Amino acid sequence: MIDPRVSVIEKRLKDVNRILVVSSGKGGVGKSVFSSSAALALNVLGYKTGLLDLDFQGSSDHIILGEGVSFPEESMGIRPFKLSNGIDFVSFSLFTGESALPLRGVDTTNAILELLAVTIWDELDFLIVDLPPGIGEEVLDIIRLIKQLEFILISSSSLISVKVVKRLAALLKNMNIPIDGIVENMASDSSSYVADMAREYSLNYLGTIPFVSQLESEIGNWRKLKDGLFVDYVSSVIKQIIY
């Protein structure tokens, strides 16, 4: 049976121009800080921007941005929470707060389906989607449910991360999903694994973000984050994708 929610999702996203999915396969490499910062950078550049946190168990964009997000407005569906800078924000945390959601496989898929089917996005130039780690359920669901997406891959400089990101890159290439490129985060000068991978997989190497020690003091305050060094780096990465 065809799930009617699947066709609704296309309608819900029809006014969104570009959907950038931030993914890695690996956890802890900076997907969430990059996603939140990319939304801030695009917002500063004057683009209408949305941020969708699809990390079901580990949602953290609301913690990074830190504006008291609250239950979204309902009107035959839900409207994204509007940050005071105009970014439209949706996360499972809008509904669950800081509680864990003890859901298994198919229930997770259903929750994602439901969230995508009920959220009515306004006209947006860019929607940034922050994914959980892993190359399973959520990645496959989002590829199946959302048309016209573009992936941004994030890796740290470590071989441990690069090996996992390679699996994701291979999967996406096999499925003919567009990849904008790869970002090396928390980069170490002595490593060339990410640059080598970019060459091997014919990916755009979108740039290097070093470890930024003041980032932690900016977490939870998007105004501080927006003016900080980390967002500067993210902004130069994101400009390569949008121009």
Ligand X SMILES: Nc1ncnc2c1ncn2[C@@H]1O[C@H](COP(=O)(O)OP(=O)(O)O)[C@@H](O)[C@H]1O
Contacts with Mg ion by CB under 5 A lie at: 31-32, 55
Q: Closer CB to Mg ion, residue 72 or residue 133?
A: 133
Q: What is the DSSP letter of 55?
A: -
Classify each residue of 195-215 as buried b or exposed e, where b means 16 or more C-beta atoms within 10 Å of its C-beta.
Answer: eebbeebebebbbbbeebeeb
Going by the DSSP 8-state scheme, the letter that residue 50 receives in this structure is E
Min dist CB 219 to ligand X, Å, is 6
30 binds, among Mg ion, ligand X, none (CB under 5 to 8 A by kind): ligand X
Element (H, E) at 240: helix 229-242
Q: Residue 186 binds what, of Mg ion, ligand X, none (CB under 5 to 8 Å, by partner type)? A: ligand X
Q: Which does 209 bind (CB under 5 to 8 A by kind): ligand X, Mg ion, none?
A: ligand X
- The residues that touch ligand X, with contacts defined as CB under 6 A, are 24, 27-33, 60, 133, 185-186, 209, 211-212, 215-216, 230
Minimum Å gap between C-beta 76 and ligand X is 32
Q: Which does 71 bind (CB under 5 to 8 A by kind): Mg ion, ligand X, none?
A: none
| Contact partners, residue 21, CB within 8 Å, separation at least 6 | 129, 131, 142, 149, 150, 151, 152
Considering beta carbons, is residue 24 or 43 the nearer one to ligand X?
A: 24
Measured at the CA of 44, the angle between CA 230 and CA 185, to 5 degrees, comes to: 25
Q: How far is the CB of 184 from ligand X (least distance, A)?
A: 10
Question: Of 19, 33, 30, which is closest to residue 148 (Cα–Cα)?
Answer: 19
CB-wise, 154 or 241, nearer to ligand X?
154
Q: How many CB atoms lie within 10 A of CB 106?
A: 9
Between 30 and 72, CB nearer to ligand X: 30
Side by side, the strands of the sheet bearing 149-155 are 81-82, 88-91, 49-53, 124-130, 16-23, 149-155, 179-185, 205-209
Q: Minimum distance from CB of 43 to Mg ion (Å)?
A: 20
- CB of residue 181 to Mg ion, shortest distance in Å: 19
